[in-house]
Chain A
C-alpha cells in the first residue's frame, strides 16, 4: 500500500469528489472515514480585473489539496478523511443542507458563506453537535457579540487585516491616510476597522471620502478612458497624505485607484498593497512546494480562499493525527486545547484564541506580484504572542462563548 500511496491518493480523492461518491480509496473496513462537510456559496461578486474572475472551485481546490495531504498522513496511521461538497445558491435553505450532512454522519462543516449564513448555520448546528469552521466571513461581530462555542474561524477578521496593514504603514512612517470608503455595509465595517487601527497604532486619517456604487458592470471595453478621468477627480483636493486606503470589499472602485490618484501616492487596502491570508507568489517557509502541488493539480494559482479552506481541513487532520483518533469529540477538544497548532506555510504554528475561537495567523501584505511584507511587524510587542497585536485581543473581547 505504501508504494502506491501517493499516486492513488491524488487521483482517488479527486475522482471521489467528482463522482460525488462517498467511498474513499483507502477506506479500511475497520476504520470509518471522517467526513467533513463544506457548504459554500456560489454567489460571487464581479471583479475589476479580468485576471481575478471567480472560478467555480474557489476554496474547494484548497480543501481538496488539504484532504489529499491529510490522507497521505492518514494512510500511515489508519485514518481516512472525506469531503462532502455542498455548493449553494442565493436563498438556499441552509438548515436543510445541514440536515442532509447530518444524515451522512458529518460532525465538521466548513462554511464559505456571508455572516448571516454562518450565524443561521451555527445555531442550527448546535442541536446536532456540529462544529462549524468559518472560512470566509471576516465580520468581527462573529467573534464578538455573536460568537458561538461551536464556531471556529479560519478567516481573519477585518480588524486583523486592517491591523496588519496599519502596522506596516506605521513602520514605513506613512501615517497620514486618505480613506475612501465604498457604499456597501461591509465597506463601512472595513472602514471602521481602519479607523480603529489608525487609533491603535498612531496613524491619522486626514480625510474620508465615499465612492458610491452607481451600478453598472466592472469591465467594459474602453472603460479605461473613463476611469482615467474619474479616479483623479475622486481623489482630488485631499489634505496632504502619505497613502490612500481603499475600503471596497465588493470591487467597485478600488482596483481603479493605483496610478490614477490626483496626487502621486501609493494605494493600499482593497487594492495596491492588500492584507491577505495567501498570495500565489508566497515562497517562504516551504510555500513554493504548496504552490507547486496546487498548480499541478488545479492548473491555476492558489488564492487566499483556497488557503483558508486548506487550513480548515488541515486543522481537523492535524488534530486527528496528534490525538490518534477520528472521534469528533476528541478532535474538537484537541483543537481547542493549548497543545493545538497548525503549520500553514507562515513560519510559525497557527493557534486558536481561546476567547473567541479565532485562528491566530500572520497576514501577508501583497502587491499582487510579490509578498511585500508579513505582519505582525517587528517592534509591535505583545505579552503573550505578537500575533495578538492583530485584531481584537483578549482584554477587549465582548465574546462570551457558549
Chain B
C-alpha cells in the first residue's frame, strides 16, 4: 500500500485538513512528497509527511468491549477512524519513536503491534497469558507486561519479539511503571495488595510495599522522587519513597454527596514539572486534581462514567480520560482545570495514548 493509496482510501467525511491533503495528493504524487509537505506545513497546512497522522495530534483509545481502537483527531475533537484489533483490548502505548502502537489483546493472549502510518496490525509480541497492561523500558525496549492470570510479569525484547524473562510477583498483577532512570520496574498486584519493585538488570524482585486494597496503577514522578500507587477498593493513593520502599502518605478523597465506596482511584498522571497530579476516581465519575507537592486535593472535575485511564497531549494542554460506562473520552483543559469536551468512542473505552506527531 503506498502513501497515496492510504490517503485516497480514507473515509469520506474527513476533517478539512485531511480533505485538503487528499486533494494535494491527487495532484502531486511525487517522490518529493516529504519536502513538499514540510514546505506546506510551514505554510499553515499541517502534517503532510504521514497522511494518517495528518492530524496535529492523534489519540488512540482501546475499546475493551468492541475489540477496536478509536482514532481521535484532536483538532476536530472527534473520532475519525476505528481500527479492528484482537479480543478485549486494554493496555495501549506508543513506542518512543512514535511508529508503533502496542495494544494488549487480553483474550487473545498477545500484544499487537500496529503501524501508526498505515493503522495496520503488523505483528504480535509473545506477551504470555491474559496481558492487561504494560510499560516500555526507557529506550523503548524491553516491554514489561503484567499477566493478570499468571501472577507474572513477562519481559519481552521488542526487536526480536523474544521473551527475556518471566518474573513471579503477586496475585493478579496489574499496573506497571518504569522508573525514570529505567533501572526499576514496579508492578502492582490486585489481590496481594503490594507494589513489587523489580530490578530491571537482574529481573529480581528487590522490594515489596504493602498498600491499600486492590492496587491498580503505579506512576513515578518524572524526577523519580516518588512513586504513587492507586488503591481502587481502599479508595486511596499511596505515595511511596522509591529508595526506602516505604509509604510516605496516603491521599484520601472526599466528594460531597458521594459514598466513600464509590470513590475508587485508578489512573494517575503527573504534569512534567511534577507539581500537579490527576487521579481518575472510577465510579465517582470524577478526576481529582492533586497538588503533588503538598498532596492536597485541590479540585474535582466531573467527567463521564467510570473513569479509569488518562493521557496528556505532548504539550500538556489537554488531558484525555476514558469513561468506560459512558463510552466516551473527556477532554480536560489542563491550565484552566475544566472539562471542555466529551468525545464519543467505542464501547467500554479502557486505555488512551496520544501521538506526538
Contact = CB atoms under 8 A, between A and B. Distances in A.
A343 B149 contact: no
A348 B261 contact: yes
A105 interface: no
A402 interface: no
Contact of A73 (B149, B192, B204): B192
Interface stretch (A1-9, A127-135, A364-372): A1-9
Nearest to A66: B191
Interface in B266-309: none
A292 B205 CA distance: 25
B157 to A, nearest CB: 20
A289 B149 contact: yes
Nearest to A351: B261
Contacts of B172: 286, 289
Contacts of B194: 73, 76
Interface string B141-179: 000000011011000000000000001101110000000
A72 B171 contact: yes
**Which label, helix, strand, loop or mixed, suits the secondary structure of the A interface?**
helix
Nearest to B282: A347
B259 A69 contact: no
Nearest to B152: A6
Contacts of B192: 69, 72-73, 76
A242 interface: no
A94 B190 CA distance: 38
Contacts of B167: 3
A5 B168 contact: yes
B233 interface: yes
A385 B259 CA distance: 8
A3 B166 CA distance: 9
A139 interface: no
A196 B193 CA distance: 39
A341 interface: yes
Given A2-B168, A289-B149, A343 B233 contact: yes
B236 to A, nearest CB: 12
B96 interface: no
B326 interface: no
Contacts of A289: 130, 148-149, 172, 190-191
A2 B210 CA distance: 16
Contacts of A343: 190-191, 193, 213-214, 233
A22 interface: no
A386 interface: yes
Contacts of A347: 233
Contacts of A301: none
Contact of A385 (B152, B168, B261): B261
Interface string A74-102: 00110000000000000000000000000
Contacts of A77: 210
Contacts of A76: 170, 192, 194, 208
Contacts of A6: 151-152, 168
B191 A69 contact: yes
A73 B151 CA distance: 12
B205 A349 contact: no
A150 interface: no
Interface in A197-222: none
B224 interface: no
A335 to B, nearest CB: 15
Given A73-B193, A286-B172, A386 B259 contact: yes
Interface residues of B, number: 25
A330 B119 CA distance: 57
B234 interface: yes
Contact of A286 (B168, B190, B205, B259): B190
B130 to A, nearest CB: 8
A394 interface: no
Contacts of A341: 213, 233-234
Q: Identify which of B149, B171, B193, B205 gathers the most chain A CB atoms within 10 Å of its CB.
A: B171
Contact of A349 (B170, B204, B261): B261
B233 A73 contact: no
B149 A348 contact: no
A385 B258 CA distance: 11
Contacts of B261: 348-349, 385-386
B86 to A, nearest CB: 16
B213 A73 contact: no
Contacts of A230: none
A3 B204 contact: yes
Contacts of A349: 213, 233-234, 261
Interface in B167-226: 167-168, 170-172, 190-194, 204-205, 208, 210, 213-214
Contacts of B190: 286, 289, 343
Nearest to A292: B149
B67 to A, nearest CB: 16
A322 B247 CA distance: 14
A231 B174 CA distance: 50
A28 interface: no
Interface in A285-311: 286, 289, 292-293
A343 B233 CA distance: 7
Interface in A1-57: 2-7
A292 B107 CA distance: 12
A292 B130 CA distance: 11
B90 to A, nearest CB: 12
Interface in A339-364: 341-343, 347-349
A317 B349 CA distance: 34
B219 to A, nearest CB: 20
A321 interface: yes
B149 A293 contact: yes
A347 B259 CA distance: 13
A3 B234 contact: no
A234 B171 CA distance: 50
Given A72-B151, A321-B210, A385-B261, A348 B193 contact: no
A72 B170 contact: yes
A136 B191 CA distance: 24
* 9 cross-chain pairs, A with B, having the tightest CB-CB distances, nearest first: A348-B261, A6-B168, A343-B213, A73-B192, A76-B208, A2-B205, A343-B233, A292-B149, A69-B171
Given A3-B167, A3-B205, A73-B171, 10 more contacts: A2-B168, A5-B168, A6-B151, A69-B171, A69-B192, A286-B190, A286-B191, A292-B130, A348-B261, A385-B261
16 contacts: A72-B171, A73-B170, A73-B171, A76-B170, A286-B190, A289-B190, A289-B191, A292-B149, A293-B149, A341-B213, A341-B233, A341-B234, A343-B190, A343-B233, A347-B233, A349-B233
